[in-house]
Structure 1
Amino acid sequence: MISPAGLSTSGTVFDYDSLQQRIREINERMAAADFWDDQESAQATVSELQRIQGTLKPLESLVQSAEDIEVMIELTEEDDSDESKAELAQTVNKVERDLEALEIRAIMRNPEDACDAFMSVQAGEGGTDAADFAEMLMRMYQRWGEQNEYKVSLEEISPGEEAGIRSATLHVSGDYAYGYLKAENGTHRLVRNSPFDSAGRRQTSFAAVDVTPDIGDSIDIDLNWDSDVREDTLRAGGAGGQHVNKTESAVRLTHLETGVAVLCQSERSQHQNRATARKMLTAKLYQLEVEKREADIAAKRGQKTKIGFGGETIRHYVLNPDQYVKDSRTGTKTGNPGAVLDGDLNEYIEAYLRWSISHEPTK
């Protein structure tokens, strides 16, 4: 049903010769007179070039730094001063930090890791507290995007009855957005004294996060949009002025075979919402196939795997009486939940990526 097109998994992102060859191919394509005739395809090509260059630049910087260290060691042997030793130590520490960052990037070797990401947040058990928690998570990912220079746009949102949201979908664009954010896929749990309980009693609530890669045209999906998918148009919900209330610009697409449904209402144009909804549905169907394959592999190994909402809780946010955030998979724990909920997620994301190496499904 699904096959990668134009994305190689034969090596890691640090196959220097292959990356150089790919740059030459892209430059030749960009030099063609008709390159910009297809704006969407051209922009995708430019984005690919930027991603490759973004990989090569730190790699080349590391190589240069290693050569600098060799020279500095020789100079330190001749000039055994504290200043020379301090400069050498500073350079070594910087190289170690750069190498760690490069190792994280190397972990993200699946073709979809380099893609943008769709993030859906859905309130679970816990009533109004769960709806409020879902909105807290949505804001957390928006803040993470701002802090890490990713573009985050709101594709759809369904408000809660009293507070918070029932669900929302974000689109996060930037280098390896999906590769990083797939760490957030799963059920999240919040424990706190409820601000919606008149007695302020302790409340446990849940929200589910579903992360899918925006695969664009890089994956071929055997899908007939006329017969395999039902399209419904409806008025966009939430605040949006007279236009939102009077026109049926929102588009919901439902894949009939699987029941997978997506909704887009972020644009004023029904045509634009339809195009975005198709990308969202394609991404979800691709991710569904990936999860099925991983579940089959896990079943063969005797592992218990639960896919989608209702799975095991991946992270706990405890605000009362103790204060901490703990990841169930990696054991990563910090005592400042306010900072985490304000977007300080990199420690958890990097820990997950390192943990995932030893927990990958194998054939």
Structure 2
Amino acid sequence: MLSFLLRRSSSFEQKPQFCFSLLASLAQVQSQSQSHHFSSSIQNRSCFTPGYSCLGKRSDGFCLSLIPSSKISPGVSCSDVDSVKCVRFCSSQSQADVDIVEPSTSDGLTVEGIIAQNWTVLGEDESDWRSHASAIAQSIHLTKRRLKWKQLLFKVKSLSEELDKQDLWDDPVRAGKISREHGFLTGKMNEVKAFEQELFEHIDMIKLSREENDAEMESEALKALLEMRRNMKEKELEALLSGEHDSCSCFIEVQAGAGGTESMDWASMVVQMYKKWAQRKGYEVTIVDEMPGEVAGIKRATIRVEGEYAFGYAKAEDGAHRLVRCSPFDSANRRHTSFSAVAVIPILGEGFSRFQIKESDLRIDRFRAGGPGGQHANTTESAVRITHIPTGITATCQNERSQHSNKASAMAVLQSRLDKLELARQAQLNAQHTQSLSENSFGNQIRSYILHPYRMVKDHRTNYEVSDADSVLEGDIDDFILSYLSASLDKDEDGL
């Protein structure tokens, strides 16, 4: 956009103040993102309108000086030329100074101002810039609300004050955590601000092009608005995953509940559903532990799902899942109700763990792997069960041939379970890790899967339902996840 604007000689000759206002806004947003793209692009003199040039830099920052080329001679500086308009790119501008200025158009229109205009939002194929601008403004507003904007600004300010303390690095672990969190939150904040500023630049460009009857400039700005409108839909989705650990991989644990063999078969179906869902998302899935049922299905299973935002999505599945169907294990073909409990645990990784495990608190048992088949599997004590004595939490792995591999996997599961328990304790929650079946029964389900007498899957938290139960069991659960995440965040109207 900068190069396009600088080529418009009539723009600078007829409306110099307006054009330099646009350039100043662009310089500001580039400064916020700490990018040098602005300075490098305008140093490339080929982007300037014929007859104009850029002189260079000043001591207080980058200076864009548009003057007739005829006035430039070797050794001339900005201060040597009369009536020169300059836009400075000051890399030393503090974040606190940037936060004071709310992005707006050249005539003072803000995101809230656009929403207040109540411009009708039409389809993307309509060439109405007000429609696109209104849709983008609403997306930015929704994104801010999901990010809990006021809390985000306060948190960034608090972390900045912590980073300014001289004794911060006396504790490197704490300092590293604060630094990473500050960088993560600042990045999200600046990204939203950059989108705001880009919106206002496109609006200003459209207004300028219409005043000059420049159809080419208006068309280019309109296309940019449309592209931005599409991109903001992705940002709305990303804002759903703004939790502290949402970007982590995770363990998904499934345990059969009330219902005997029927529930064990249902637990096996739930595990397959999550494996297929994870594969659809491009995640890597590994079976960590699995205890088969006596007749069919499984008593419990733990799978590891590795990929970006795996926990952010899968956390919506935490709870009891209810199945209603005519049981294939009932000779009378009667209708049965079964339950499976699902627990989703983030894998925080080294340096992020909340619970420090002492070797003296562990009891490690080794035993022969159970389950069907295998000349090697049931003849050596390769399976490992690790018990954390103070909490009673256990982790088992028997799927690998090597005892060392099973121990490493079991330790990873145990660490994640203890981390989750510690996170719950710190948040003053009384819920314990889902190993008991006390809530894995009637009245506590988060979702029901009805296969008889009709077919429907319904989420009881959001009332979202679909009739294609087969596709859901094949892993098509994204709509349920997004519906829950949206409802849980959008209900907080005070976050903005």
TM range (shorter): 0.7 to 0.9
1:186 paired to 2:319? yes
Give the conservation status (yes or no) of the 8 Å contact 1:188–1:206: yes
Q: Deviations over 1:93-142 (max 9, x none)?
A: 51342232222233x2x2x3222111111111111211111011101110
Q: Displacement of 1:241 after TM fit?
A: 2.4
Over 3 Å counting, the alpha-carbon distance change for 1:341 and 1:89 in structure 2 is: farther
Paired position in structure 2 for 1:104: 240
Paired position in structure 2 for 1:95: 231
Q: Displacement of 1:269 after TM fit?
A: 1.2
1:126 paired to 2:222? no
1:326 paired to 2:458? yes
Paired position in structure 2 for 1:276: 409
Aligned-partner Cα distance in 1 for 2:452–2:204: 54
Amino acid paired to 1:346: D
Aligned-partner Cα distance in 2 for 1:147–1:71: 42
Paired position in structure 1 for 2:398: 265
1:313 paired to 2:445? yes
Candidates 336, 349, 354, aligned match of 1:203? 336
Unaligned runs of 5+ in 2: 1-150, 160-179
Q: Displacement of 1:87 after TM fit?
A: 5.5
Over 3 Å counting, the alpha-carbon distance change for 1:180 and 1:249 in structure 2 is: same
RMSD: 3.8
> Where do residues 45-56 of structure 1 align in structure 2 (5 Å cutoff)?
none
Q: Deviations over 1:197-251 (max 9, x none)?
A: 12221110000111111122221523222x2111111122235622212211111
Q: Deviations over 1:290-320 (max 9, x none)?
A: 23344x458xxxxxx7873433211111111
Q: Deviations over 1:42-70 (max 9, x none)?
A: xxxxxx9xxx7xx88x9599679747954
Give the conservation status (yes or no) of the 8 Å contact 2:206–2:222: no
Aligned-partner Cα distance in 2 for 1:239–1:97: 48
Identity %: 39
Give 3-state SS (helix, strand or coil) of 1:139's partner. Answer: helix
Give the conservation status (yes or no) of the 8 Å contact 1:202–1:320: yes
Amino acid paired to 2:237: A
Give the conservation status (yes or no) of the 8 Å contact 1:121–1:169: yes
TM-score (ref. length: structure 2): 0.54
Candidates 370, 380, 390, aligned match of 1:247? 380
Q: Displacement of 1:88 after TM fit?
A: 7.2
Over 3 Å counting, the alpha-carbon distance change for 1:240 and 1:271 in structure 2 is: farther
Over 3 Å counting, the alpha-carbon distance change for 1:322 and 1:88 in structure 2 is: farther
Aligned-partner Cα distance in 2 for 1:253–1:224: 12
Give 3-state SS (helix, strand or coil) of 2:375's partner. Answer: helix
> Where do residues 202-241 of structure 1 align in structure 2 (5 Å cutoff)?
202-217=335-350, 218-225=352-359, 227-239=360-372, 241=374
> Where do residues 72-83 of structure 1 align in structure 2 (5 Å cutoff)?
73=206, 79=215
Over 3 Å counting, the alpha-carbon distance change for 1:68 and 1:327 in structure 2 is: farther
Give the conservation status (yes or no) of the 8 Å contact 1:123–1:206: yes
Give 3-state SS (helix, strand or coil) of 1:290's partner. Answer: helix
Over 3 Å counting, the alpha-carbon distance change for 1:62 and 1:240 in structure 2 is: farther
Aligned-partner Cα distance in 1 for 2:268–2:357: 33
1:342 paired to 2:470? no
Over 3 Å counting, the alpha-carbon distance change for 1:320 and 1:210 in structure 2 is: same
Point out the structure with max Rg over C-alpha.
2
More contact order relative to length (CA 8 Å, sep ≥ 6): 1
Aligned-partner Cα distance in 2 for 1:65–1:338: 44
Paired position in structure 1 for 2:114: none
Q: Which runs of 4+ in 1 moved over 6 A?
A: 83-86
Give the conservation status (yes or no) of the 8 Å contact 2:318–2:344: yes
Give the conservation status (yes or no) of the 8 Å contact 1:291–1:307: no
Give the conservation status (yes or no) of the 8 Å contact 1:62–1:99: no
Aligned-partner Cα distance in 2 for 1:318–1:68: 52
Unaligned runs of 5+ in 1: 1-9, 19-47, 299-304
1:156 paired to 2:292? no
Paired position in structure 2 for 1:170: 303
Amino acid paired to 1:97: K
Give the conservation status (yes or no) of the 8 Å contact 1:144–1:344: yes
1:352 paired to 2:489? no
Give 3-state SS (helix, strand or coil) of 1:261's partner. Answer: strand
Q: Deviations over 1:243-278 (max 9, x none)?
A: 212211111111112211111122221111111111
